[in-house]
A and B are shown apart, each in its own frame.
Chain A
Amino acid sequence: MKSIGSYEHRVASHCETGSMRNLLVHDGLAITEPMVFGLGSGPAFYYLFFSRSHTGFPLVGIRNRPGSIIKNVAGLLGVDMFGKRLGSPAEAMREADRLIDEGRPVIACVDMFYMKYLPQFLQVHAPFHFIILVGHDETSYAVSDPYFDCPGVLRRSDLEVAWDTHAKMSQDNFLAYARRVPREVDWRRAVIAGMKRTIKGMLPPRPVRRLLKFVGVEGMRMYARKSLEWPRRYDGHWLREGILWNAVAFEDQGTGGAAFRLMYGAFLQEASAILGSSEIEGLATKMVEHGQAWRYCSRRLIQIGKQVPMRDRDFPAWIEENRARLDEGLREFHDLFMERAAFEERFWSDLEAAVGRLGKGHGSRR
C-alpha cells in the first residue's frame, strides 16, 4: 500500500484532539494533545434530554460539538486548514487519494461502527469519529486512528458507508487537511483566547443560563436531578446498561478520564508555564483534584449499575426487594455530582477572574 512515509502514528485519548495533534506534529508544529484540547475549548456539558442514546437514556455531551476543536485550534494558531463536507463518498475518496499521493495526511469524520480494526466493544454507532487517512491502494486505506496503537487497515467499501451515514450529528464526507502550518505561534494569546471561549461555554450569561438549563454547569445540575428518576423511567437491562454506559462514557470513551477534566487539568498546567502564572497553576491543581473526584462519581455509578440484574426476567423481583437501596445509591450519586457542579461554577468564575488579571501581556513564545 502506498503510504505517507514521513507520517508517524501516535495514540491519543480522544479522536479529534489526537488526529489534530498528529496532523500538526506531522507538519512540524510541536503541540500536545491537552494543548489541542484546551485551545479547542473542549470542556463542555450538555444534558440533551430531547435526544436518546442507544440505551434509551438521554444523551450527555461532555465536550463541545464534534469538529469545533479542529476549527478553533486552526483559528487560534493561524493554521490554513481546508475542511469541507464533500458531495459523496466517491468524491471524498478521490480527493483523499490525491492528497495522500501529494504526501498530505487527510482527516476524515466517520462512523466508528465500521472501523473493523478496532476492538469489537468500540464498534458502536458514533458518526463523529475522527481518523487520519495516510495511505491507500485499490481496495483499502491505511488509517491512523488515535484509539488504536498501530495504523489500521480499512476497506474502501467500509469507509464508503462510514463516511456517508446521514445519521444525526454526522458530518457526511467531511475531509480536512492542513494547507499551511505556521512555524511561529503566539502561544500566550492563543492560550488566553482558548480559555475565554471555554469559560463562555461553561458559564453562559445569566439570561442564557435561565433559558438553556441543560447547558454547562446548569446542565450538570439537571443531569444530577434527573439521575434520581432513572429507576422510575427505565427498567430491566436498559436500566443497568444506561447507568453503566454513563460511567463508561465519562471514563473510557476517549476522554482521558473524568469526562475530559483531567486532560483540561493537563492543559492548564501547560498554560501556566506559558503564561508564567502561579494562579493558573493553582487552578490546574484544583482541576486535577476535581477530575479525581469525578472519577469517584463514575465508580459509584458503576457500583450502582452493577446491582441491576442483566436478565429482564429477574428484574421485577429484584426491584421489589432493592428499590430503597437503589434510590439511596442514586441519592448519594446525585449529591456527589451536585458538588461537582458547584465546584465547576466556582472554578470557571475563578478562571475568568485569573484570565482577566493576565490582561493583554505580550511575549512568551516557544
Chain B
Amino acid sequence: MLVSTRRQSYDGKFRLVLYRPDAGGRIESRLEKSDFDEEIDSVFALRAVEYERLLGSMLEGRLSPVGFWLEFRGMSAADVALRPRIPRSKVERHATWEGWRSATVQMLALYAKVFDVDVADFFQFGTLDDGIEVEIEIHEDRLLQQVRIRKAAP
C-alpha cells in the first residue's frame, strides 16, 4: 500500500440534501454543505492517526497485515468472515502473525476483495513524498499489481 504523506482532508465541496424550515415554518429541501463539515474532516484526521497506530502495532508484531486491514477498515472478524464465507476463527487466526504465515494466496485474494485492496497491499506499506505520483494497474483478480512511479506534474 502506498500512502501519501499529505493527510487527506475533506475539502468541504460535498453537498447534501437537508430539510430545513424557512421563516414561515415550511420545510424545504436544500442542497447545501453540511453543518458538520468539521466532524467529517475529523474522520480523515482520525484515519491518519489510526494508520500510524496500526502500522506501529504491525511492525511490533502485534498485528498481521490481515489484522491491519481489518482494523483500518473498521470491520469486525465476524463481518469479514461472513463476506467470503470463511470461519470467523480462521479470520481471527489470520489477523495474528502466526496465523498470517499460513494464509494461502487464494485466501488473501478473498480478503483483498473485502478490504478493496490488492494482494500486494498485504506485503508492503510504502509512503509517498510530496511531488511523487503513482499509477497502479491491477491484473488477474487483484493478484498482480503494476506500478508506475513518476514525478508529479507541477
Residues of A within 8 A of B (CB): 11-13, 18, 33-34, 52, 54-55, 113-114, 119-122, 124-125, 146-147, 149, 161, 165-168, 237, 240-241, 244, 247-248, 251-252, 254, 256-257, 262-263, 265-266, 269, 284-285, 288, 291-292, 302, 306, 310-312
Contacts and interface: CB of A to CB of B under 8 A. Distances in A.
Contact of A257 (B14, B19, B113, B116): B19
A149 B27 CA distance: 21
30 contacts: A11-B31, A12-B17, A18-B17, A34-B27, A52-B76, A54-B75, A54-B76, A121-B10, A122-B14, A124-B74, A147-B16, A149-B15, A166-B83, A166-B84, A167-B83, A168-B79, A168-B82, A240-B46, A252-B16, A252-B40, A254-B16, A265-B19, A266-B27, A269-B27, A285-B25, A302-B36, A306-B42, A310-B42, A311-B49, A311-B53
Please report whether the interface of chain B is mostly helix, strand, loop or mixed according to DSSP. mixed
A79 B73 CA distance: 39
Contacts of A11: 16-17, 31
A54 B73 CA distance: 9
B21 interface: yes
Given A114-B116, A125-B74, A312-B53, 13 more contacts: A13-B19, A33-B17, A34-B27, A121-B10, A147-B16, A161-B116, A167-B79, A167-B82, A252-B16, A254-B16, A291-B19, A302-B39, A310-B42
Contacts of A247: 36, 39
Q: What 8 A-B pairs come out closest when comparing CB atoms?
A: A54-B74, A13-B17, A266-B27, A262-B19, A256-B19, A119-B14, A257-B18, A121-B43
A38 to B, nearest CB: 12
Contacts of A119: 10, 14
Contacts of A257: 18-20
A18 B31 CA distance: 13
Contacts of B44: 120-121
Contact of B18 (A165, A256, A265): A256
B45 interface: yes
A251 B50 contact: no
B36 A149 contact: no
A165 B34 CA distance: 30
B135 to A, nearest CB: 16
Report which residue of A125, A263, A306 has the largest number of chain B beta carbons within 10 angstroms of its beta carbon. A125
Contact of B39 (A34, A248, A262, A284): A248
Contacts of B29: 13, 33-34, 256, 266
Contacts of B79: 125, 167-168
B35 interface: yes
B10 A161 contact: no
B127 interface: no
Contact of B40 (A248, A254, A288): A248
B39 A292 contact: no
A33 B19 CA distance: 11
Nearest to B76: A52
Interface string B67-84: 000000111100100111
